[in-house]
């Protein structure tokens, strides 16, 4: 009798053990991948950012300190990268979000042939970024570009978008707005389709105009989705890099005046081989994005109408 009781206890304890650790066993491959490819590189970059005179091949360095951070904050190219990235994010994110909301609202209407317009707006998402950039480079051409041709219809003189250093940032911003819109439209359109049509039916019964329905029903109920898209777009815009290569043939602007944060990191790591400076710039970018993301999340929690 005693032996049977002991066997049943062992089985029950073994069952509890299996039940407790079984999920961890299934998650182990994913967790190992996260540790190797995410956590380790992240903490390693933090360490490298404090290693002065770090050499990648040997792993040797002179000492721990803040010289890498002092250097980048006194480097005019890094200051230029901060300004350009801030300007890019400040213009691209709100403008692309506002335009995307407008077009998503139009695409949400039940009209004939709407599928054609939806395909036209979503097509850039499945097209090569390099190919699109080369097309925009041709469109920005000061002599044969379609953008200057269209502006000329309104009496605007020819603009050297890709040759004038003062206009380089605006060419990048225009391209960035267009490039960010398809993804934003998809997210906002999915949010619009989840709004109960009964709200609009009740508003029409009360005699509300389309404008009032948009600002008093659509925008408030879509606020969480708008907040989400702003956070995603802000993070994406802060990492602007690939757009520079096709527009300026791999250079950061006509006169090396269009450094962005990620391009600065790429230049210091891959060209100048200053790994400590690149690591310090990466940490600064992470801190900036993290702080602004937390601020947006805080504002989003308070921006509720229901």
Q: Are residues 41 and 71 in the same domain?
A: no
Q: Is 61 within the bounds of a domain?
A: no
- Quote the mean pLDDT of the chain: 85
Q: Are residues 27 and 163 in the same domain?
A: no
> What is the tally of structural domains in the chain?
2
Q: Is 279 within the bounds of a domain?
A: yes
* N-term to C-term CA, the chain: 64
Q: Is 196 within the bounds of a domain?
A: yes
CA torsion 264-270-275-279 (nearest 10°) is 40
User: Helix, strand, or coil here: 131?
Assistant: helix
Q: Are residues 76 and 30 in the same domain?
A: no
pLDDT score, position 262: 93
Q: Is 55 within the bounds of a domain?
A: no
Pairing verdict, β 63-64 and 51-52: antiparallel
| Average pLDDT of span 123-128 | 78
Share of the chain above pLDDT 90, in %: 36
Highest mean pLDDT out of 9-13, 45-49, 52-56, 87-91: 87-91
Q: Is 62 within the bounds of a domain?
A: no
Q: How far apart are CA 289 and CA 292, in angstroms?
A: 5
pLDDT score, position 88: 96
Q: Are residues 30 and 158 in the same domain?
A: no
pLDDT score, position 13: 52
Res 196 pLDDT > 70: yes
Q: Are residues 23 and 84 in the same domain?
A: no
Q: Are residues 35 and 72 in the same domain?
A: no
pLDDT in tens, 81-100: 999 999 999 999 999 999 99
Q: Is 94 within the bounds of a domain?
A: yes
pLDDT score, position 74: 93
pLDDT in tens, 129-178: 788 888 999 999 888 889 999 988 888 888 999 989 999 999 999 999 99
Longest dimension (CA), the chain: 102
Q: Is 42 within the bounds of a domain?
A: yes
Res 6 pLDDT > 60: no
Q: Is 205 within the bounds of a domain?
A: yes
Q: Are residues 188 and 276 in the same domain?
A: yes
Q: Are residues 113 and 206 in the same domain?
A: yes
Structural contact between residues 51 and 61, judged by C-beta atoms closer than 8 angstroms: yes
Highest mean pLDDT out of 32-41, 44-53, 279-288: 279-288
| Average pLDDT of span 278-292 | 93
- What is the chain's percent helix, strand, coil content, to nearest 5? 75, 0, 25
Q: Are residues 158 and 36 in the same domain?
A: no
Report the CATH number that the domain containing residue 147 is assigned in CATH: 1.10.3720.10
- Name the residue range of residue 249's domain: 67-302
| Average pLDDT of span 246-260 | 89
């Amino acid at each position: 009798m005693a032996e049977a009781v002991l066997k049943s206890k062992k089985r029950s304890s073994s069952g509890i053990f299996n039940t407790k650790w079984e999920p961890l066993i299934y998650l182990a491959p994913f967790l190992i991948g996260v540790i190797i490819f995410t956590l380790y590189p992240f903490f390693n970059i933090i360490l490298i950012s404090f290693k002065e005179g770090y050499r990648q091949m040997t792993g040797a360095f002179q000492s721990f300190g803040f010289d890498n951070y002092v250097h980048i904050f006194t480097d005019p190219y890094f200051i230029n990268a901060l300004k350009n990235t801030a300007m890019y994010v400040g213009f691209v994110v709100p403008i692309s979000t506002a335009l995307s909301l407008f077009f998503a609202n139009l695409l949400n209407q039940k009209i004939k042939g709407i599928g054609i317009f939806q395909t036209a707006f979503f097509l850039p998402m499945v097209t090569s970024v390099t190919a699109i950039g080369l097309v925009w480079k041709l469109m920005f051409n000061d002599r044969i570009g379609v953008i200057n041709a269209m502006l000329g219809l309104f009496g605007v003189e020819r603009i050297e978008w890709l040759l004038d250093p003062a206009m380089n940032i605006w060419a990048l911003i225009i391209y960035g707005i267009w490039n960010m819109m398809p993804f934003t439209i998809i997210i906002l359109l999915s949010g619009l389709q989840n709004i109960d049509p009964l709200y609009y039916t009740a508003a029409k019964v009360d005699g509300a105009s389309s404008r009032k329905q948009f600002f008093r029903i659509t925008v408030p109920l879509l606020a969480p989705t708008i907040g989400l898209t702003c956070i995603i777009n802000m993070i994406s815009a802060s990492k602007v890099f690939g757009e520079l290569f096709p527009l300026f043939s791999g250079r950061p602007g006509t006169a090396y005046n269009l450094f962005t944060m990620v391009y600065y990191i790429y230049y210091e790591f891959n060209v100048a081989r200053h790994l400590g400076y690149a690591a310090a710039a990466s940490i600064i970018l992470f801190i900036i994005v993290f702080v602004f993301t937390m601020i947006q999340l805080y504002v989003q929690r308070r921006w509720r109408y229901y």
